[in-house]
Amino acid sequence: MTSPGVVPKPSAAPRRATVAALAAVLLAGCGVGRGPLARVGSHTISRDEFLRVARAEQTRYPGAPDSAKARLLDDLIRQHLLIEAAKEAGLYRDSLFLDASRRAGEYILRERMSRELIGGPIAVTPGEVAALYRARAQEARCRIVFAWTADLARIASAELRGGADFAAVANHVNPPGVVPPGGDLGFVVPGTLPLSLDGPLRTAPLGQLIGPLEVPGQGWFLMRVEQRRPRTQPTLEAETPQLAELIRQTKQREVLMRSVDRLRASAGIRVLPGAPERMVARLLPLAQAKEQHPEGPHLVETLSTAEQASVLAEYRGGVYTLGDAATDLENPSGARPNLYMTPVVARWIESQVLNRVLVDEARRRHYDREPEFNTTLSQLQDRVLVEGYVAREVNARVAVTEQELRQAYQRSAPMFTRLEEARLLTATLEDSAVASHLVENAFPGGTLREVVATASLPVRVQSETVRFPSADPVWQTLEPRLLQMTAGEYAGPVRAARGWLVAQLQSKAQGPPSFEALSAQERSYLQGQALDRLRGGRILALTDSLRRAIRVEVHRERLRSIPWPVPPEPNTRS
């Protein structure tokens, strides 16, 4: 594959097993090596390619080794039949393919630059692992306030030091959906927060306001540790691999952020005053209209030539314009900012410029001429070709009928089982610890009445029949548990109006609903399942027909010399 380009990250759309296997095979790419296993049109499926794919995907092929290897080879052949057909159809000249190829190439270069900025292997010492292990012997409950700018963090800090309620300030300042209500992170284990916050989590005095603290690349934080408690954990020996990797990843992030900061400074990135506001004012209405009418023109096409050239940011080597921003907003694999929050938009503009700086620097270093770049790009381009061809020849030609939807329900009916009625013995206790002890020590075969009497508890045991769905929040909470229980088992304790409720199941009625009673969400799920089944059948029929039109040569006997499972690739790096 020699066409230029780049592709986005894989689609999240559900696929049937065959389609998923083909997509997974595609990711592993194509290779040239000794002893060809097959030829599909102009492509040779080599032993090296087979081994590379098998190392990544062999768990998808269970069963006897000979059968597993044969199925993998068949999937590779189907994959390359689709690639050959897509090429013959000229999809590599399509604008969507060219745009995706460009984005993929840039993504590969950014990843390459990130690895270079991190540098060599990150060392982790046994002492660091032991220290983190000791720190994780306790966990701490904390609250945070997160601000995009230092100025907003200082304002929030002044309010808190003046006696304002922490939860109220957090709810006012924290971006919606980014931090839990009241800034309450719950109990956090050391080693899971950024370094700027991890230290105070371990050592800050309880109740003391900490910050503002900057987390590079994210923003500014205020923090308050409210409680610490002991935490049980496995042995140091058992935890060492996980903790070492956690420390390594933390170090990598810190090294990368420092390197990116230096690169940002050297590139002279500057978001122009008022640029975020200009971008929001012009692109937010367009983005909203695009969401309502996805088939409409691209955002950049709705801008005038002057608007497209309007500069939002500058850097040594170029400018970032409103037209660039409109294009990047529609990148399916890119991050999209909350256009209602101008500080977020400002950071997004800066990040888009930084992406360009990384790509420019990677090209200056000729990373785009490395064999690894071309190999990875070719793999991603092949994936885009297959996805485009399948979209045209498969997805656009199948539709689910009502009968097929009913058949899908018949195949999956048990998974829609609903609880209709439960007959229970219940007791409500004032103390949650007593209620928990009651459930934990209930003797097999005994009833809740017998357990309460044995414990000499002054509580009343009642018989209840509950019909579902229930409007009572208590039974809404217990419904999933009751659905899985058998007669005699206990549920709870759960918070109720007068204390802590414990329930013992006596009997119940449950079963799948009628097809007509399915919810819209359940019908949508079945629609997807039925569609996947149709697409799977269509793609198999399509590749069978392509096999008659495209020359295929197979040497299955050469599979015998390939071990299964395939051993890991030897590490030749120092």
pTM of the model: 0.70
Q: Does residue 293 sit in the same domain as residue 387? A: yes
Whether 72 and 99 map to the same domain: the answer is no
Is residue 181 domain-shared with residue 279, that is, in the same domain?
no
Which residues touch 433 (CB under 8 Å, ≥6 apart)? none
Q: What is the pLDDT along the chain (574 residues), one digit of tens a residue?
A: 433 333 333 344 444 444 444 444 444 444 333 579 999 999 999 999 999 899 989 999 999 999 999 999 999 999 999 999 999 999 999 888 998 999 999 999 999 999 998 887 889 999 999 999 999 999 999 999 999 889 899 999 999 999 999 999 999 888 877 888 889 998 999 999 988 999 999 999 999 999 899 988 788 999 999 999 999 999 999 999 999 999 999 999 888 888 888 888 999 999 999 999 999 999 999 999 988 888 888 899 999 999 999 999 999 989 999 999 999 999 888 888 888 888 889 989 999 999 999 999 999 999 999 999 998 999 899 999 999 999 999 998 999 999 999 999 999 998 899 999 999 999 998 888 888 888 887 777 789 988 888 888 888 999 999 999 999 988 998 998 999 999 999 988 888 888 899 999 999 999 999 999 999 999 999 999 999 999 999 999 999 999 999 999 999 999 999 999 999 887 644 4
Residues 277 and 383 in one domain: yes
Q: Tokens at residue 345, please?
A: 């938009």
- The neighbouring-strand residues paired with 321 are 311
In a domain, 520, yes or no: no
- What SS3 state is found at 186? strand
Burial readout 163-197 (b: 16 or more C-beta within 10 A, e: otherwise): eeebeebbeebbeeeebeeebebeebbbbebbebb
Residues 109 and 83 in one domain: no
Q: Does residue 361 fall inside a structural domain?
A: yes
Report whether 334 contacts 328 (CB < 8 A). Answer: yes
What is the tally of structural domains in the chain? 4
In terms of domains, do 506 and 383 share one? no
Q: What single string gives the DSSP state of each residue in 31-50?
A: ---SS--EEETTEEE-HHHH
Burial class (CB in 10 A: 0-12, 13-18, 19+), 437: middle
Same domain, 547 and 562: yes
User: Is position 95 within any domain?
Assistant: yes
CATH number at residue 179: 3.10.50.40
pLDDT at residue 6 in the model: 35
Residue 139's CB: how many other CB atoms inside 10 A?
Answer: 20
Q: Are strands 184-188 and 209-215 parallel, antiparallel or unpaired?
A: unpaired
Please, which residues bridge with residue 188 across strands?
A: 140
Same domain, 424 and 366: no
Predicted confidence at residue 344, as pLDDT, reads: 86
- CA pair distance 230, 150, nearest whole angstrom: 34
CA 397 to chain centre: 30
- Shared domain check, 265 and 117: yes
Specify if 539 maps to a domain. yes
Q: Is 109 within the bounds of a domain?
A: yes
Domain end call among 341, 360, 393: 393
Tell me whether residue 79 is in a domain: yes
Whether residue 363 lies inside any domain: the answer is yes
User: Which H, E and C letters describe 299-358, residue by residue?
Assistant: HHHHCCHHHHCCEEEEECCEEEEHHHHHHHHCCCCCCCCCCCCHHHHHHHHHHHHHHHHH
Which of 332, 359, 393 is the last residue in one of the domains?
A: 393
Residue 269 and residue 378 share a domain: yes
Domain carrying residue 158: 137-232
Examine the domain organization and report whether 490 and 541 are in the same domain: no
Q: Are residues 366 and 468 in the same domain?
A: no
Identify the domain boundary among 185, 211, 232: 232
| 250 within a domain of the structure (yes/no) | no
> What is the tens place of the pLDDT at every residue in 269-282?
999 999 999 999 99
Q: How far is CA 65 from CA 59, 186, 562, in A?
A: 12, 48, 10
